[in-house]
A and B are shown apart, each in its own frame.
Chain A
Amino acid sequence: MTLLSFDHVSRRYSVGGSEVHALDDVSVTIDAGEFVSVIGPSGSGKSTFMNLCGCLDTPSDGRVTIDGVDVAGMGEERLSELRNERIGFVFQQFNLLARTSALDNVALPLIYSGVKRKARHIEAMRVLERVGLGEWANHHPSQLSGGQQQRVAIARALVNEPVLILADEPTGALDSHTSAEIMCLFQELNGQGISIVLVTHEQDIAAASSRKLNFRDGKVLSDERIEQTLFLEPGLEATA
Chain B
Amino acid sequence: MSVLESVLVALTALRTNLLRSMLTMLGIIIGVAAVITMVAMGTGAQKEVDAQIAALGTNLFMIMPGSFRDHGARMASGSRLKLTEDDAHAIKREVAGVVASAPTSRGAVQIVSGNMNWSTTVQGIDNDYLLARNWEIVEGRVFEAREIRSGTRAALVGATVAEELFGEASIVGQSVRINNVPFQIVGRLGPKGQSMMGYDQDDLVMVPLEAARGRLLGASRAVAKAVSVIMVSVEQASMMDEVEEQITGLLRQRHRLRADQENTFSIRNMSEMVATRAEASRVFNMLLAAVASVSLVVGGIGIMNIMLVSVTERTREIGLRRAVGAKPRDILTQFLIEAITLCTIGGAVGVLLSVVIIMVTSNLTGWPVELPFQVIVLAVLFSAAIGVSFGYYPARKAARQDPIEALRYE
Contact = CB atoms under 8 A, between A and B. Distances in A.
Given A95-B407, A97-B317, A112-B1, A56 B324 contact: no
On chain B, which size bracket covers the interface?
Answer: 20 to 34
A77 B328 contact: yes
A76 interface: yes
A84 B328 contact: no
Contacts of A49: none
A219 interface: no
A156 B324 contact: yes
Contacts of A76: 327-328
B12 to A, nearest CB: 7
B19 to A, nearest CB: 14
Nearest to B331: A80
A83 B325 contact: yes
Contacts of A108: 320-321, 324
Contact of A89 (B323, B326, B328): B323
Contact of A114 (B1, B316, B326): B1
A77 B329 CA distance: 9
A154 to B, nearest CB: 13
A84 B324 contact: yes
A84 B325 contact: yes
Contacts of B5: 111, 117
A160 B329 CA distance: 21
A95 B403 contact: no
Contacts of A109: 324-325
A57 B328 CA distance: 15
Nearest to A109: B324
B136 interface: no
A236 B112 CA distance: 115
Interface in B373-410: 403-404, 407
B9 to A, nearest CB: 8
A85 B325 CA distance: 8
Contact of B404 (A56, A98, A113, A156): A56
A35 interface: no
Nearest to A168: B407
A99 B321 CA distance: 16
Interface in B176-232: none
Contact of B16 (A91, A98, A160): A98
Interface in A49-107: 51, 54, 56-57, 76-77, 80-81, 83-85, 89, 91, 93, 95, 97-100
Contacts of A114: 1-2
Contacts of B403: 56
Most buried by A among B9, B321, B324, B330: B324
A83 B316 CA distance: 17
Nearest to B320: A95
Interface in B1-46: 1-2, 5, 9, 12, 16
B316 A95 contact: yes
Contacts of B325: 80-81, 83-85, 109, 112-113, 160
A111 B1 contact: yes
A46 B328 CA distance: 26
Contacts, number: 63
Contacts of B326: 80, 112
B322 interface: yes
Contact of A91 (B2, B321, B328, B407): B407
A144 to B, nearest CB: 17
Contacts of A156: 324
A60 B321 CA distance: 25
A51 B404 contact: yes
Nearest to A86: B325
A191 B199 CA distance: 97
Given A112-B1, A156-B324, A99 B330 contact: no
Interface in B268-327: 316-317, 319-327
Nearest to B322: A80
Contacts of A111: 1, 5, 9
Contacts of A95: 316-317, 319-320, 407
Most buried by B among A80, A99, A156: A80
B335 to A, nearest CB: 15
Given A100-B12, A111-B5, A114-B1, A54 B324 contact: no
A231 B193 CA distance: 95
A64 to B, nearest CB: 15
A83 B9 CA distance: 21
A140 to B, nearest CB: 10
A2 to B, nearest CB: 23
Contact of B323 (A54, A81, A93, A117): A54
A81 B330 CA distance: 12
Interface in A157-177: 160
A112 B16 contact: no
Contacts of B407: 91, 95
A69 B404 CA distance: 21
Interface of B: 1-2, 5, 9, 12, 16, 316-317, 319-330, 403-404, 407
Give the top 8 A-B pairs by smallest Cβ distance, nearest first: A84-B325, A112-B325, A109-B324, A80-B327, A95-B320, A99-B16, A89-B323, A112-B326
7 contacts: A76-B327, A80-B322, A80-B327, A83-B324, A85-B325, A89-B323, A112-B1
Given A89-B323, A108-B324, 15 more contacts: A51-B404, A80-B322, A80-B327, A83-B323, A83-B324, A85-B325, A93-B316, A95-B407, A100-B12, A108-B320, A109-B324, A111-B9, A112-B321, A112-B327, A156-B324
